[in-house]
């Protein structure tokens, strides 16, 4: 033992010291994003830096590699900016820095979380039961009323669709369109001059609402939070009529949408179910679209019951397209639903055009002809959101940064 100790004293191992990295914090520059800072130093030049982050509650992990001059002491910044992807208020970013030196030694900072809020206003909160209301104007009683409605509609629609919302939900109440506009996704000047957005779901867990007593707008947008949990997945996407129809069904009253579809039924000018599997491109059809979507959802629930309606969402979430999901639950596809709904509303059967040679081509195995592809939805997304906002019920957009 004495010999070993002497050997160690005579020939000490060379100390290996990796880089030291320090998190420099975050600056909130809402609505223009967040600026993250970091410094690092070591005995060998710092050659690689990565900023790793994730958007909660369900964002995809991603990273950014900042530009810097390699050296033994470096300072860098990374900006997550609104011109890269949409950053709604209430977003939570979990992040850490990873640094590697010329010897291949790596060091990391601890994982931190940053809450990106709208720093233009002094926000007050009402929270509990999985819902937080953020408001800066109006009285506490109005905010408490909105909180009660929010909890109620999430519970009600979760029960209807037999699903759970596994995260806390945020509602940000804005007092005016000018106040809320910077918190929304950027639009063209034409859009801004023609559209007033009264409510929109901007993230999986976040909705923005104009006015602190807009109860039906709140119900509509929070129903979208629940429908997404019940029917959306990497495998399945809901058709527009089912998603928006359920959101209007969640309101205390369909409002003008009910009148729009009643008038269309009287004139026999309703749209086919397949037409409204995507949002209409004609502004003149928007109110009828929402009204008919609501009427279709009401028909399914009232005629076949809540359990089958919840199963329809489950089938879509599991990967079935809308025609296959309808067949699995009800025994008919969108054309069959269209025929039943028309009959229930005293409308004559829809004329079926003669099949064309293209219609007679064999169907490729494994495909069905219902629903709307994600690609098509993406192509028309900008027009969709503008039209939806015209009637005070925004669509949904959660931009994700992928690695």
- Please report which confidence band the pLDDT of residue 375 belongs to, taking 50, 70 and 90 as the band edges: very low
Which CATH number fits the domain 138-347+368-390, given the four candidates 3.30.70, 1.10.10, 3.40.50, 1.10.390?
Answer: 1.10.390
Structure pTM?
0.79
> How open is the CA angle 316-203-310, to the nearest 5 degrees?
25
**Residues 29-73: pLDDT tens digits?**
999 999 999 999 999 999 999 999 999 987 779 999 999 999 999
The DSSP-derived string for 136-191 is SSS-HHHHHHHHHHHHHHHHHHHHHHT----S-EEEEEESSHHHHGGGSPP--HHH
- Tell the residue number behind the tokens 């010897």, with chain if given: 103
Distance, CA of 168 to CA of 127 (rounded, Å): 10
Let me know: does 87 contact 31? Beta carbons within 8 Å: yes
Long-range contacts of 350-355 (CB under 8 A, 24+ apart): 350/272
Do 20-116 and 138-347+368-390 show the same overall fold? Answer: no
pLDDT tier at 194, thresholds 50, 70, 90:
low
Chain Cα centroid distance, residue 56: 11
Q: What per-residue confidence (pLDDT) applies to 282?
A: 82
What is the model's pLDDT at position 351? 80
Report pLDDT digits (tens) over 211-222: 888 999 999 999
pLDDT of 356 strictly over 70:
no
Residue 345 class from Cβ within 10 Å (0-12 exposed, 13-18 middle, 19+ buried)? middle
- Highest CATH level, class, for 20-116: mainly beta
Which of 55-69, 138-152, 168-182, 222-236 shows the lowest per-residue confidence on average (mean pLDDT)? Answer: 55-69
| Domain ranges (residues) in the chain | 20-116, 138-347+368-390
- Whether 206 and 96 have beta carbons less than 8 Å apart is answered as no
């Amino acid at each position: 033992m004495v010999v070993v100790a002497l050997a160690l004293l005579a020939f000490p191992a060379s100390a290996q010291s990796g880089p030291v990295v320090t998190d420099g914090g975050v600056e909130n520059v809402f609505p223009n994003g967040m600026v993250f800072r970091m410094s690092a130093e070591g005995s060998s030049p710092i050659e690689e830096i990565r900023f790793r982050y994730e958007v909660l509650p369900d964002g995809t992990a991603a990273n950014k590699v900042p530009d810097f001059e390699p050296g033994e002491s470096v300072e860098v910044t990374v900006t997550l900016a609104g011109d890269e992807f949409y950053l709604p208020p209430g977003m939570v970013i979990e992040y850490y820095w990873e640094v590697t030196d010329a010897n291949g030694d790596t060091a990391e900072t601890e994982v931190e979380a940053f809450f990106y809020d709208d720093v233009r206003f002094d926000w007050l909160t009402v929270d509990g039961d999985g819902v937080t209301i953020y408001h800066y104007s109006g009285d506490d009683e109005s905010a408490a009323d909105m909180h009660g409605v929010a909890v109620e509609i999430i519970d009600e629609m979760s029960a209807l669709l037999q699903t759970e919302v596994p995260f806390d939900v945020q509602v940000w109440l804005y007092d005016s369109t000018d106040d809320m506009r910077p918190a929304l996704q950027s639009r063209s000047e034409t859009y801004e001059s023609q559209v007033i957005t009264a409510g929109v779901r901007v993230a999986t867990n976040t909705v923005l609402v104009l006015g602190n007593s807009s109860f039906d707008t709140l119900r509509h947008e929070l129903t979208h939070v629940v429908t997404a949990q019940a029917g959306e997945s990497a495998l399945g996407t809901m058709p527009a009529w089912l998603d928006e129809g359920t959101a209007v069904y969640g309101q205390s009253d369909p409002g003008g949408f009910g009148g729009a579809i009643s008038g269309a039924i009287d004139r026999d000018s309703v749209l086919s179910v397949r037409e409204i599997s995507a949002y209409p491109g004609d502004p003149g059809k928007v109110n009828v679209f929402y009204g008919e979507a609501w009427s279709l959802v009401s028909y399914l629930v009232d005629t076949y019951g809540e359990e089958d309606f919840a199963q329809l969402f489950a089938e879509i979430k599991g990967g079935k397209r809308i025609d296959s999901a309808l067949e699995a639950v009800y025994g008919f596809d969108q054309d069959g639903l269209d025929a039943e709904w028309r009959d229930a509303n005293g409308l004559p059967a829809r004329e079926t055009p003669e099949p064309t040679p293209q219609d007679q081509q064999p169907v490729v195995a494994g495909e069905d002809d219902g629903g709307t592809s994600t690609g098509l939805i993406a192509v028309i997304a900008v027009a969709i959101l503008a039209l939806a906002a015209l009637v005070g019920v925004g669509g949904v957009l959660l931009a994700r940064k992928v690695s």
